[in-house]
Chains A and B, each alone.
Chain A
Amino acid sequence: MSQAVVSINYKKSVIDAVIAGLLALIVFGPIVGIVLDGYDFNAEPERLMWIVLTVMAGRLAASVFFQTSKGAAFLYKHSSKEEGVHVLPPGHKSKLRWIIPLTIVIALLVPFIASKYILTVVILGLIYVLLGLGLNIVVGLAGLLDLGFVGFYAIGAYGLALGYEHLGLGFWSMLPISAIIAAIFGAILGFPVLRMHGDYLAIVTLGFGEIIRLVLTNWTEVTQGPNGMNAPLPTFFGMEFKRRASEGHVPFHEFFGIPYSSVYKYIFIYLVLLLVVLGVLYVKKRLTKMPIGRAWEALREDEIACRSLGLNHVLVKLSAFMIGASTGGLAGVFFATYQGFVNPSSFTFFESALILAIVVLGGMGSTLGVVIAAFVLTVAPELLREFADYRVLAFGMLMVLMMIWKPRGLVRMTRTGVEQREGNVK
Chain B
Amino acid sequence: MDIILQQLVNGLSLGSVYGLIAIGYTMVYGIIGMINFAHGDVYMVSAYVTAIAIALLSFFGIESFPVVILGTLIFTIFVTGVYGWVIERVAYRPLRGSSRLSILISAIGMSLILQNYVQISQGAKQQGVPTLLSGAIRFDVGDGFVQLTYMKLFILCASFIGMGVLTYIIQKTKLGRMCRATQQDPKMASILGIDTDKIISTVFVIGATMAALAGVLVTLDYGGFDFYVGFIIGIKAFTAAVLGGIGSLPGAMLGGIILGLSEALFAGLISSDYKDVFSFSLLVIILIFRPSGLLGKPEVEKV
- In this complex, the member of B58, B95, B97, B105 whose beta carbon has the largest number of chain A beta carbons within 10 angstroms is B105
B56: chain A residues at CB < 8 Å are: 34, 41
Decide yes or no: A397 and B120 within 8 Å by CB, A27-B82, A199-B104 being known contacts.
no
CB-based contact B303/A304 at 8 Å: yes
A26, A215, A305: the one within 8 Å of B277 (CB): A215
CB-based contact B109/A203 at 8 Å: no
Answer whether residue A206 sits at the interface, using C-beta atoms and an 8 A cutoff.
Answer: yes
B127: chain A residues at CB < 8 Å are: 36
A203: chain B residues at CB < 8 Å are: 35, 235, 238, 242, 283, 287
CB-based contact A407/B102 at 8 Å: yes
Cα distance A80–B83 in the bound complex, in angstroms: 28
Cα distance A304–B127 in the bound complex, in angstroms: 50
CB-based contact B120/A399 at 8 Å: no
CB-based contact A211/B117 at 8 Å: no
Interface string of B192-217 (1 = CB under 8 A from A): 00000000000000000000000000
**A-B interface pairs (CB < 8 A), number:** 167
A204, A395, A398: the one within 8 Å of B284 (CB): A204
Interface string of A389-423 (1 = CB under 8 A from B): 11011011111100110010000000000000000
CB-based contact A404/B94 at 8 Å: yes
Interface string of A23-38 (1 = CB under 8 A from B): 1001101111011101
Cα distance A203–B246 in the bound complex, in angstroms: 13
Q: Which of B95-153 contact A (CB under 8 A)?
A: 95, 97-106, 108-118, 120-123, 127-130
CB-based contact B291/A207 at 8 Å: no
Report the stretch among B47-55, B164-172, B177-185, B254-262 that lies at the interface: B47-55
B303: chain A residues at CB < 8 Å are: 304-305
Instruction: Give chain B nearest CB distance to A13 CB in angstroms.
Output: 17
Interface string of B260-300 (1 = CB under 8 A from A): 00000000000001101100110110011001000000000
Decide yes or no: A199 and B35 within 8 Å by CB, A35-B121, A145-B104 being known contacts.
yes
Nearest A residue to B99 via CB reads A407
B53: chain A residues at CB < 8 Å are: 30
Interface string of B67-109 (1 = CB under 8 A from A): 0000000000011001100100011001101111111111011
Cα distance A52–B90 in the bound complex, in angstroms: 16
Cα distance A198–B283 in the bound complex, in angstroms: 16
Nearest B residue to A209 via CB reads B280
CB-based contact A396/B79 at 8 Å: no
CB-based contact B288/A398 at 8 Å: no
CB-based contact A400/B280 at 8 Å: no
A147: chain B residues at CB < 8 Å are: 108
CB-based contact B110/A304 at 8 Å: no
Instruction: Give chain A nearest CB distance to B64 CB in angstroms.
Output: 17
CB-based contact B55/A39 at 8 Å: yes
B291: chain A residues at CB < 8 Å are: 195-196, 200
Q: Chain B: interface secondary structure? A: helix
Nearest B residue to A217 via CB reads B273
Cα distance A400–B117 in the bound complex, in angstroms: 14
Answer whether residue B189 sits at the interface, using C-beta atoms and an 8 A cutoff.
Answer: no
CB-based contact B82/A404 at 8 Å: no
Cα distance A40–B78 in the bound complex, in angstroms: 22
Decide yes or no: A31 and B112 within 8 Å by CB, A39-B55, A403-B98 being known contacts.
no
B106: chain A residues at CB < 8 Å are: 399-400, 403-404
A31, A195, A403: the one within 8 Å of B288 (CB): A195
A31, A81, A192: the one within 8 Å of B49 (CB): A31
Decide yes or no: A39 and B130 within 8 Å by CB, A198-B101, A396-B109, A400-B113 being known contacts.
yes
B117: chain A residues at CB < 8 Å are: 31, 393
CB-based contact B121/A32 at 8 Å: yes
Answer whether residue B65 sits at the interface, using C-beta atoms and an 8 A cutoff.
Answer: no
Q: Chain A: interface secondary structure? A: helix
Decide yes or no: A396 and B281 within 8 Å by CB, A218-B274, A349-B231 being known contacts.
no
CB-based contact B109/A399 at 8 Å: yes
Decide yes or no: A200 and B86 within 8 Å by CB, A396-B109, A407-B99 being known contacts.
no
B102: chain A residues at CB < 8 Å are: 403, 407
CB-based contact B108/A356 at 8 Å: yes
B8: chain A residues at CB < 8 Å are: none
Cα distance A102–B98 in the bound complex, in angstroms: 38
B34: chain A residues at CB < 8 Å are: 199
Interface string of B28-53 (1 = CB under 8 A from A): 01000111000000000100110111
Answer whether residue A311 sits at the interface, using C-beta atoms and an 8 A cutoff.
Answer: no
CB-based contact B86/A403 at 8 Å: no
CB-based contact A304/B301 at 8 Å: yes
Cα distance A305–B303 in the bound complex, in angstroms: 8
CB-based contact A407/B123 at 8 Å: no
Answer whether residue A57 sits at the interface, using C-beta atoms and an 8 A cutoff.
Answer: no
Cα distance A36–B102 in the bound complex, in angstroms: 35
Answer whether residue A16 sits at the interface, using C-beta atoms and an 8 A cutoff.
Answer: no
Instruction: Give chain B nearest CB distance to A318 CB in angstroms.
Output: 15
CB-based contact A36/B284 at 8 Å: no
CB-based contact B284/A207 at 8 Å: yes
CB-based contact A35/B101 at 8 Å: no
Q: List 6 A-B contacts (CB under 8 A).
A: A204-B284, A364-B101, A393-B117, A399-B108, A400-B109, A404-B95
Query: Residues of B at under 8 Å CB distance from A?
Result: 29, 33-35, 45, 48-49, 51-56, 58-59, 78-79, 82-83, 86, 90-91, 94-95, 97-106, 108-118, 120-123, 127-130, 231, 235, 238, 242, 273-274, 276-277, 280-281, 283-284, 287-288, 291, 301, 303
Known: A30-B49, A396-B114. 15 other contacts (CB 8 A): A27-B83, A31-B48, A31-B121, A36-B48, A36-B52, A139-B101, A203-B235, A208-B280, A392-B112, A392-B115, A393-B112, A395-B112, A396-B111, A403-B106, A404-B94
